[in-house]
Amino acid sequence: MPNISNKGMNMPESPIRKLVPFAESAKKNNIEVLHLNIGQPDIKPPNEVLKKIKNFDISTIEYTHSAGIESYRKGIANYYNNIGINVSYEDIIVTTGGSEALIFSLNSILDPGDEIIIPEPFYANYNGFAILSSVKVNPIISKIENRFKLPSSKEFEKLINPKTKAILICNPNNPTGYLYSQEEIHELAKIVKKHDIFLIVDEVYREFIYDENNHYSVLNELEIIENVIVIDSISKRYSMCGARIGCITSRNKNLIQTCLKFAQARLSPPTFGQLAAMEALKTKDIYFNNVIGEYEKRRDLLVSELNKIDGVYCPKPSGAFYCIAELPIDNADKFCQWILENYSINNKTIMMAPASGFYTKENMGKKQVRIAYVLNTEKIKLAISILKGGIKEYKRIQLKGSGIN
């Protein structure tokens, strides 16, 4: 049999999905699984978008321009202009989700063996995209005891070497929910300017900001406009994950031209998705106010209830719809599997993502889980009681020494 490539062999499985067989087997045993493990929102897309999809009036399903439908790109530019960011449609390439925007960006700025610095824990697929692009991730630790704030400039400087071509952050962050402040973005801008490297900021959760906070986009850093690449997507913004539409936004003309070559090789982003996305751009503020209000309610409930459980610590996130909690257990990978296989209340159990999958350094995040608050408050209450009971039972069994492997 011919061999599989090293790249293929080294491609990591998604840590978010590695417990799926255990969830499936729970479901076969008539246990309902509350999914706190994935970022698939239960929120409805805007009604107008659903209406548009039902009434698509097209006779052919053609490729679009490789950079995306021009009027849609103009619509995205207008969206940015409305939030005070001055970009033109020529600074935008429409992609098949934020995922493809990341792949094109990495391949446009890094050669095999080059390095990218990413604060960890980080969105696990960054690892997969790095392997796909043959580049090395140089992680820098952000700590739960500091609420996952940006590591100091000194720490970043220690990692920068001639192979370092970029820093990548996600703001607000998946998996931590941390919102980087204007000051933190300024600090990064200084480093990037000093070393003349790229700063990729994944802003796919830009709309989901809570309390009195505001999102500060790196596109406002006018001194480094040639260094900045923003990754964007409609997946979470309008709850349209399956439309598969994202974009790259950068005022670096060379970067855009290079990304366009990758875009031409894959011909076109999805035509249907773009048509739906064009409609989504008309979404009124009231939709976002409702959605953000709902997520904020869920976050408040989840975080306060988590912190009431003996030994649990969960910093309150300011954005996105994830949090990381440290649990009073020995190993979150083991615990998340155990709870799916062994613990339920009224035939309901929970699935969480062990946080180890969001770190590259060994033994980091061993006791942490990522919880996505993509379920309504009733389900979150239920999930918390299952978690609380599960921790108690898991510890009792361990104390008894009956052995959980």
Ligand X SMILES: Cc1ncc(COP(=O)(O)O)c(C=O)c1O
Q: Which residues pair with 322 in a beta bridge?
A: 372
Closer to ligand X by Cβ: residue 200 or 329: 200
Position among 39, 172, 269, 357 found at the interface with ligand X (CB under 6 A)? 39
Closer to ligand X by Cβ: residue 170 or 380: 170
Instruction: Report d(CA 315, CA 256) in Å as an integer.
Output: 38
Q: How far is the CB of 392 from ligand X (least distance, A)?
A: 32
Longest dimension (CA), the chain: 68
Closer to ligand X by Cβ: residue 204 or 391: 204
Cα Rg of the chain (Å, integer): 22
Q: How far is the CB of 184 from ligand X (least distance, A)?
A: 17
Closer to ligand X by Cβ: residue 97 or 269: 97
Instruction: Report d(CA 6, CA 134) in Å as an integer.
Output: 11
Closer to ligand X by Cβ: residue 98 or 390: 98
Site for ligand X in 83-112 (CB under 6 A): 97-99
Closer to ligand X by Cβ: residue 39 or 357: 39
Rounded to 10 degrees, the C-alpha dihedral 275/281/283/284 comes to: -160
Position among 64, 66, 174, 227 found at the interface with ligand X (CB under 6 A)? 174
User: Strand 136-141 relative to strand 164-170: parallel, antiparallel, unpaired?
Assistant: unpaired
Instruction: Report d(CA 350, CA 389) in Å as an integer.
Output: 11
380 near ligand X (CB under 6 A): no
Q: How far is the CB of 270 from ligand X (least distance, A)?
A: 12
Span between the terminal Cα atoms of the chain, in Å: 35
Residue 347: is it exposed, middle or buried by C-beta count within 10 angstroms (0-12/13-18/19+)?
A: exposed
Q: How far is the CB of 99 from ligand X (least distance, A)?
A: 3
DSSP, residue by residue, 105-159:
HHHHH--TT-EEEEEES--THHHHHHHHTT-EEEEEE--GGGTTPPPPHHHHHHH
Closer to ligand X by Cβ: residue 170 or 302: 170
**172 preceded by a cis bond (ω within 30 of 0):** yes
Sketch the per residue contact string, 273 through 302, with ligand X: x for CB under 6 A, - otherwise: ------------------------------
DSSP 3-state percent helix, strand, coil across the chain (nearest 5): 45, 15, 40
Say if CB 348 and CB 386 are below 8 A apart: yes
Site for ligand X in 189-228 (CB under 6 A): 202, 204
Q: How far is the CB of 241 from ligand X (least distance, A)?
A: 5
Q: What single DSSP character describes residue 312?
A: -
Closer to ligand X by Cβ: residue 68 or 390: 68
Q: What single DSSP character describes residue 369?
A: E
Minimal CB distance residue for ligand X:
97
The two structure tokens encoding residue 333: 């990978």
Give the Cα-Cα-Cα angle 269, 275, 276 (nearest 5 degrees). 105
Q: How far is the CB of 117 from ligand X (least distance, A)?
A: 16
Instruction: Report d(CA 354, CA 335) in Å as an integer.
Output: 9
Sketch the per residue contact string, 133 through 172, with ligand X: x for CB under 6 A, - otherwise: -------------------------------------x--
The two structure tokens encoding residue 103: 């792949």
Q: Helix count (H) and strand count (E) of the chain?
A: 13, 12
Q: What single DSSP character describes residue 183?
A: H
64 near ligand X (CB under 6 A): no
- Single out the residue of 37, 45, 39, 84 nearest to residue 237, CA to CA: 45
Cβ neighbours of residue 364 closer than 8 Å, sequence gap 6 or more:
120, 121, 141, 356
Position among 123, 178, 287, 335 found at the interface with ligand X (CB under 6 A)? 123
Sketch the per residue contact string, 334 through 363, with ligand X: x for CB under 6 A, - otherwise: ------------------------------
Applying CB under 6 A, the span of 75-83, 140-148, 213-221, 233-241 interacting with ligand X comes to 233-241
State the number of binding residues for ligand X (CB under 6 A).
13
Closer to ligand X by Cβ: residue 49 or 309: 49
Closer to ligand X by Cβ: residue 170 or 188: 170
127 near ligand X (CB under 6 A): no
Closer to ligand X by Cβ: residue 98 or 128: 98
Residues that bind ligand X (CB under 6 A): 39, 97-99, 123, 170, 174, 202, 204, 233, 235, 241, 246
